[in-house]
Amino acid sequence: MTEFERKRLAERSKDGLAIYTAVKRAMDVAGSLCGIALLSPVLASVALLIKLDDPKAPILFGQTRIGKNGVPFRMYKFRSMIPDAEKKLGDLLAKNEIQGAMFKMKDDPRITRIGKVLRKSSLDELPQLFNVLRGEMSLVGPRPPLPREVEQYTEYDKLRLTVASGCTGLWQVNGRNELSFEQMVELDLQYIRQRSIRGDLKIIFRTFKLLLGAKNAY
């Protein structure tokens, strides 16, 4: 057992963690169902705009991500890039603006016109509510990494994979793309050590506030 796990278990009893896990899952199901129902007009409108922008390209973008305990799953987003974006990634890796096992580029040439708006407002993330409903993700937790990113992880970095991935988390509400990979990992591990229903609700509330004036999403 790592020092990290010893500290986590010392701070939270097994019974307390089990109760938290059960309540968190109930909150995920209720939250994702309500979100899908209330945002259905937005989902339909975004889908229509993407289709009008490029009638021959798909509306959704599915990508393999790594979830809890290293289990891969298919994560869905509204397509914000050109259809062959994955094939062109290799040509852009040298322009990565974040150090570590993660790729971010502010002026990524693969992003479409409508995609820039979707990313700025984080509307491209809405289909992940279905991932939450299916139990592959949670509303709150570390962002799910790509397989190629996990290949570069140290054993310490892999500790962020000990809980379910989330749609939002401490990284998103504390700087997002302005932070380094190492800072993201530390925030994720802080969340895992201190996670609680109250903490999850605070992160969700802060996420809504940021979405009203997001400046760090790209």
Give 121-154 pLDDT, tens digit per residue: 889 999 999 999 999 999 999 999 999 999 999 9
Highest-scoring range by mean pLDDT, 96-100, 162-166, 176-180: 162-166
pTM above 0.85, yes or no: no
Query: How big is the chain by its Cα radius of gyration, in Å?
Result: 17
Give me the pLDDT at residue 218, please: 43
Q: How confident is the model at residue 12 (pLDDT cuts 50, 70, 90)?
A: low
The mean per-residue pLDDT over the stretch 13-18 comes to 68
Instruction: Give the tens place of pLDDT for each residue, 40-55.
Output: 999 999 999 999 999 9
Q: What are phi and psi of 170, to 5 degrees?
A: -60, -35
Contact (CB, 8 A) for 167 and 126: no
- Average pLDDT of the chain is 86
